[in-house]
Structure formats: structure tokens, C-alpha cells
Amino acid sequence: MSGRTVLLPRSNKNSVTLPQNHSISAVVSILGNPIEYLKGVGPYRADLLKKELQIFTFNDLLNLFPYRHVDRTRINLIRDIGPDIEFIQVAGRITSVEVLGVKSSRRLVAELKDASGSLELVWFQGIAGLQKLIQVGAEFLVYGRVSFFQGSPQITHPEIEVLVKQPEGQATLEPVYPTTEKLKVKGLGGRQLGKLTQTLINLVKERDVPENLPGHVLEYMDQEGQPQRLLGRWEAYRQIHFPTRPDLFQQAVHRLKFEELFLAQVRLGMIKSKRHRYSHGVVFGQVGEVFNKFYSEYLPFELTGAQKRVLKEIRKDTGSGRQMNRLLQGDVGSGKTIVALLAMLLAIDNGYQACLMAPTEILARQHYEGISALLKEMPVQVRLLTGSSKSKSRKEVLEMAKEGELHILIGTHAVLEEAVQFNNLGLAIVDEQHRFGVEQRARLWKKAAIPPHVLVMTATPIPRTLAMTAYGDLDYSVMDELPPGRQPIVTVHRLDDRRPQVMDFMRHEIAKGRQVYVIFPLIEESEKVDYENLLRGYENIKAWFPEPKYWISRVDGRQKQEERETNMQRFLQNDTQIMVATTVIEVGVNVPNATVMVVESAEKFGLSQLHQLRGRVGRGQEKSFCILLTSPRLNKEARERLNTLCATNNGFKIAEKDLELRGPGDISGTRQSGMLNFKLANIVQDRELLELAREMAEKILDKDPDLEASENTGLKVFLQTQHGKTQWSKIS
């Protein structure tokens, strides 16, 4: 894997250069060899393998895992093909071959006959090559997904190869690899790649694939206290490609999945432990006047237990002399803002400045207004800086920040600009983290000689397993408690034809003095249609709620900044009772008087997004409602999303479900790193294995944080050879 980026220049073909970061043990291993030197490959196929499958070295091929195995002794009869068999393997003789159709429907059609019946084979690509291979009268073994065309079975683009009689009674499992059409045409189909792996496996010695797990990890006690043994590394590679027994194959998969997860956890753990031991941080040694005065006189409510706990964690980090790098996970409405404010006051008490970044202008302004109001009577200087700050006030803010007169700067990513300099920034807080890129956040670091403490607050919870892999190098706080007095939001799913009743309900709530959101989807791919829907929906609602009895705000991304702001402000001040908007208001907006959230075309939203939207209501003492409107035509997954949302208000549960439904790749708020793209393991399905890997990695690093012990040498050397594979940024 480490050789992946190494392309040998053509002129240099015969001298093997190795990547700089290879350690000695990798240099002697045959696995670093360029793939063209494997018998049966050569320069032409090597180019294809590189382009199509990113296979550059022997090692890359070794790590191309089969997606299934063929048991040649298990051959179906064509007669047995029925609707409940999806994939079949049949053997028979070709009775006809012809090319039909023209242009895009040009295809090669062959008939395959066995003792029980006949089957049609169809190809749209690679016709010329196949015509040579497939001759009438020849016998083939064929594998593929069956479909029915006008009642008769056929396979489109089957895997096909000349039938060779198998020795009786011996079941061998042959690997089939993921491949591409281009490779298939050049004789490197899913099964043919197996010939190359066979050659490779025969060539590779055990010492080329040294064990990288320490002995006490290979032999471990499971959660029930039963001794377990993982398959050795070399054996695992052999078995995953060419299993000799089904149970050994299972063990091989298990071992290699564990290895992936474990190595990732060790890497993350080492980064974290290095930061804990060596990073310098400014010290917030005392809780002073500012914090105490605010806490005793102006704090508008009693903190929840979770808020207190997180504050303690922050105090401990910031007082330790090392840099804090903490992820704060809290459900929507759990009260992260006040925690941020108190942490900033702590910074001020210790002579440092603080900065709070929000992803949108609306949010930054809202934080600014909320925090300024809370600090009205306090000797604390707070300013706002956004893209639309006027140049005069901007200049003043920049000067104050630089001179140290400014205590708290609140803003959008405008605060990241070069021009923004602090006298002594001690704490940087990033709110609603998923809108900010890694790079952007890393820029905060450079704003002080000693990097400021960093607190990253998520908009919605991230499942534990995901957090463990994507943010495993950060310290981690959870606020799993809502402020008291909150009533769960009543969530219902209604079909479009019930809109009149929904409107009646809105009217009823507005009559009680409450406010209502109506959200329309705006999805990039169908932006135009969505936008028209939004406008139509807006007109429609205006007809139901006519002026001057009712006033409506409209907020969407196409409006001019100013118009959007004005509309937002009017809703915030309760001058308008209804807010019609797209998801621009999704994150963070806080209007405690709003009690109804209506989501139009709710099936178009993701689960976490819906939860986030719902979190805009239920922020005050009043009972709140979320109404999900959809058309009656819903696919299974959409139905499941809606059901989940109606069933629970718990953001952590919803995050788990979201992960399960969508897989790790799509979850917003995850770091764009290779971390989640495991080759074999899957953090949803292999969750227990992940927990185990995490536990074992922690145990090792607790005792031996730099992997100096001789029992951990193999692991350390291996990690060094992998170095450079993943780019680790210092900050989440």
C-alpha cells in the first residue's frame, strides 16, 4: 500500500527505486516490487492495472481482496433457474453465436445448452474479443446474475471461461476479484486476476508478510473471558485469497478486518497521546472575577449536569499546560452556546482573548446578539466580524483585536483572514463544526505563537463508532442531557392531501402567539424545480395567511444578504409569525417562541438534517410539533427515516440509524480522511470488532505510548512503513 504513489519513470524501468519512507524491512520484501515484474503482467497490463485498479506494486495486488469465491464443483442446472436464484453457475455447450443490433444496441448473443435446458448470454461490450473465444460447440463454465427476458432466462455480461474437467471430489474455492470492463476485455476478468494472485502467493515467502500484531494481541481474551486466537498475517492473506476451508476463510477475514481497525486505532491513539505529552498550551490557571461574577449574577438559568461536566473537562484541559483539542458533541438544543461563553470567560480571566466562529452570517450575528445581551453589564468587549462588516467598523475591530482591547471576537470564516490578528488568542471555538473544512480550522492555530485551545462543537451527534474512527485523536465530550422543562417534540408524518388540516393547525398555534417554520427542500441537482416549488409554496401560504393579519418571512440562499437578514430579523423579533425557508436556517437558529416546524417533501431530506430542522422548535417551555409532509409514494428507506424520526427525539439514536441507513461515507460532519474507507471492515457491521480494536489499542498505548517495548517492535515498524498513507491534520 505504501508504494501506491510510486510510479517508476519509463527510463528507469530496470532499476527499482523505492519510496523514501520505506523502512528497511519493507525494502527487502518482494512486496515493494512494481507490478509489471510479476510473471504474466508485463508493461502493458501493468499500465492497465495501475489505471483501472490502482495496483502499482506486488503489495497492492496482495491487498486486492476477492469479493467472492467460486466453488467449481457446484454447478446449477439451467432447468433449476427460478425467480429465487439470483446468481448461478452453469456449465454447457455453445449452440449459437451471433451479433445483433446496431450502434448502442449492438450486442453479442450466444446460446448455452446443458442437459436440462438452454440459456441466453448477452454482451454489449468487448464483442470482437469474445467472438474469438466463443465458438459453437465449445464448452464453458458461466457465472452471472440471471434475468428474464420475455420469459426466458438470460445473463448479461456473464463471467465465462473454457470448461476444464475438475478432479472428482475436491472442492476448491477460487477467488473472484473486483475488476472493470476494460480489464475484462484484456483478459483480466474477475477470475483471471486470480491467476496473478496465485503466482504472487507462490512467490511470496512468510518473511515478506511479517506479523504486525504483538503476540498478546494475537492471543487475547474476548469479552466473555474466553481465550481467542487470531490467524497469523501470512496465513490470513493466503486464506483470504485461496481458502482451504470455509472456517479458515472466515478467520482470515476476521483477522484482516481486525488488523485494519486496530492499526487505525493505534495511529489515532498515538497522535492523541503525543499531543497530551508534548503539545504546549497556554495555561488558564484560575477562575477569576469575570467568570465568577457572570456565573453568580447573570447566568439566566441553572446549568444542566452535562453542561457542568463539560465545563469541568474544559477547565481541566486548559489548566494542564497542554493544548486542548476537544470535540463537544451535544444534541440539538442541549445548550452548547452557554458552555462556549463560559469557556471564553475563563480565557479572559487568564488574560487571553477568545474567538467564536459560526458557519453562517445569521448564526454569527445571533451569537453576537445573544452573548452581547448576556454580557451587557460586564466589563467585556465583544465584537462581530463577518464578510459584510462595513470597512470602518471592520478596521476598528481589527485594531482592537491586535491591541488586545477586544476580549471576544465572534464571526464567520472572515475571522480566519490574514488581516485578523490577535494580541494573545487563547481559545478558539468552532460552532456547528460540519460546515467548516479541516483546512479552515487549522488556520486558527496560526493566530498565536502558542496554538490556542480549540473547542469544536458539532451540530448534531455523530455515532460513537464513527466518532471513534473519524475523531479518535481528539478529546471528546458529550452533552446527552437537555435543559429541564423541555417537552419532547411531537412528530408526525402526514400525506400532502392533509395540507388543509396542517394549515388549520398552524393557524391555531399562531392564535396562541406562537411562530411557525415551513421548510422546503433545495437540492442542488434539482435546484430550479425546487426553487419554483418554494416560490409556489410561499404564495400558497400567503393565500392561507393573508396580510395584514399575518406576516411572513421568506429566507433562501438566492436572496441578497440584506434581504435575507431583514427577513430573519423580523422573525426573530416576532414581527412575522411564519418563516418560509430552505435549509439555510437548518443549523443553530434559536427562536424559542417557534413551536411548529412543517417540512415539505420531507422524504427528500436526510435523517440528521430532519433532526436538525426539528431542533429549531421545542426550544422554549411550550409544547412543540414537527409535521413531515410527503407524497404517498415513498421508498422503503424514506419510510424508515420518517418512522425513526416520529419514534424518537434522541439525536444519538438518530445518528446511529442514519449511519446504518446511509453508511459511513455520507454522514455529514465526518472528516474527509481516508479513515473511514476501510478495505474490508465496515464500522457499522463490524462495530464489535471496532470496539475490541479500540480497547486493545488503548491498553497497549497506556503501557507503551511510543511502542518502545520489544514485543511492539513489529507493530511500530509496520506503522512506519505505512507512514504518509494518511494525512493527519493537527486539528479535527
Q: What does the binding site for Mg ion look like in residue numbers (CB under 5 A)?
A: 588
Using CB under 6 A as the binding rule, whether residue 483 contacts ligand ADP is answered as yes
Q: Which of 190, 335, 472, 618: binder of ligand ADP (CB under 6 A)?
A: 335
342 binds, among ligand ADP, Mg ion, none (CB under 5 to 8 A by kind): none
Read off φ and ψ for residue 161, nearest 5 degrees: -155, 155
Q: How far is CA 343 from CA 472, 613, 696, in A?
A: 23, 27, 34
338 binds, among ligand ADP, Mg ion, none (CB under 5 to 8 A by kind): ligand ADP
Q: What is the dihedral of CA 639, 641, 646, 649, to 10 degrees?
A: 170
Closest to ligand ADP by CB, 204 vs 596, is 596
Closest-by-Cβ residue to Mg ion is: 588
Question: In the complex, what is the shortest distance from the CB of residue 210 to ligand ADP, in angstroms, rounded to a whole number?
Answer: 49
Size of the residue set binding ligand ADP (CB under 6 A):
16
Q: Using alpha carbons, select from 584, 511, 581, 513 the residue that is nearest to residue 553.
A: 581
Question: In the complex, what is the shortest distance from the CB of residue 411 to ligand ADP, in angstroms, rounded to a whole number?
Answer: 17
Using CB under 6 A as the binding rule, whether residue 332 contacts ligand ADP is answered as yes
Burial letters for 635-668: b for 16+ Cβ neighbours within 10 Å, e otherwise? eeebeebbebbeeebebbbbbbbbbebbebeebb
* CB-CB contact of 296 with 287 (8 Å): no
Q: Which of 592, 606, 663, 724: binder of ligand ADP (CB under 6 A)?
A: 592
Window of 137-145, 214-222, 303-311, 386-394 that interacts with ligand ADP by CB under 6 A: 303-311
334 binds, among Mg ion, ligand ADP, none (CB under 5 to 8 A by kind): ligand ADP
Closest to Mg ion by CB, 475 vs 586, is 586
Site map for ligand ADP, 425-464, x if CB under 6 A?
Answer: ----------------------------------------
Using CB under 6 A as the binding rule, whether residue 303 contacts ligand ADP is answered as yes
Looking only at Cα atoms, what is the longest distance across the chain? 95
Read off φ and ψ for residue 384, nearest 5 degrees: -110, 135
List beta partners, residue 159.
143
Q: Which of 3, 34, 330, 451: binder of ligand ADP (CB under 6 A)?
A: 330
Closest to ligand ADP by CB, 407 vs 619, is 619
Element (H, E) at 542: helix 527-544
- Residue 585's contacts (CB-CB under 8 Å, 6 or more residues apart) are 362, 517, 519, 555, 568, 579, 616
List beta partners, residue 516.
578, 596
How far apart CA 252 and CA 233 sit, in angstroms, is 8
Window of 275-283, 302-310, 568-576, 719-727 that interacts with ligand ADP by CB under 6 A: 302-310
Residues 619-678 that bind ligand ADP (CB under 6 A): 619
How far apart CA 567 and CA 47 sit, in angstroms, is 58
Closest to ligand ADP by CB, 197 vs 304, is 304
Using CB under 6 A as the binding rule, whether residue 593 contacts ligand ADP is answered as no
Closest to ligand ADP by CB, 332 vs 645, is 332
* CB-CB contact of 577 with 551 (8 Å): yes
Q: How far is CA 50 from CA 56, 61, 63, 343, 450, in A?
A: 5, 10, 14, 51, 44
Closest to Mg ion by CB, 519 vs 552, is 519
Using CB under 6 A as the binding rule, whether residue 304 contacts ligand ADP is answered as yes
Question: In the complex, what is the shortest distance from the CB of residue 569 to ligand ADP, in angstroms, rounded to a whole number?
Answer: 17
Read off φ and ψ for residue 22, nearest 5 degrees: -70, 135
Q: Which of 68, 301, 508, 685: binder of ligand ADP (CB under 6 A)?
A: 301
Strands 139-149 and 159-162: antiparallel
Q: How far is CA 421 from CA 365, 401, 429, in A?
A: 21, 6, 16
Q: Using alpha carbons, select from 484, 538, 491, 482 the residue that is nearest to residue 645.
A: 491
Closest to ligand ADP by CB, 397 vs 408, is 408
- Residue 402's contacts (CB-CB under 8 Å, 6 or more residues apart) are 421, 422, 423
Whose cell is 393557524? That residue is 507
How far apart CA 519 and CA 497 sit, in angstroms, is 17
Closest to ligand ADP by CB, 149 vs 301, is 301
Question: In the complex, what is the shortest distance from the CB of residue 295 to ligand ADP, in angstroms, rounded to a whole number?
Answer: 12
Closest to ligand ADP by CB, 91 vs 346, is 346
Closest to ligand ADP by CB, 301 vs 728, is 301
590 binds, among Mg ion, ligand ADP, none (CB under 5 to 8 A by kind): ligand ADP
Question: In the complex, what is the shortest distance from the CB of residue 486 to ligand ADP, in angstroms, rounded to a whole number?
Answer: 8
304 binds, among Mg ion, ligand ADP, none (CB under 5 to 8 A by kind): ligand ADP
Question: In the complex, what is the shortest distance from the CB of residue 444 to ligand ADP, in angstroms, rounded to a whole number?
Answer: 20
Per-residue cell: 482: 437537555
Q: Using alpha carbons, select from 323, 310, 309, 318 the residue that is nearest to residue 287.
A: 318
Using CB under 6 A as the binding rule, whether residue 333 contacts ligand ADP is answered as yes
Residues in touch with ligand ADP (CB under 6 A): 301, 303-304, 307, 330, 332-338, 483, 590, 592, 619
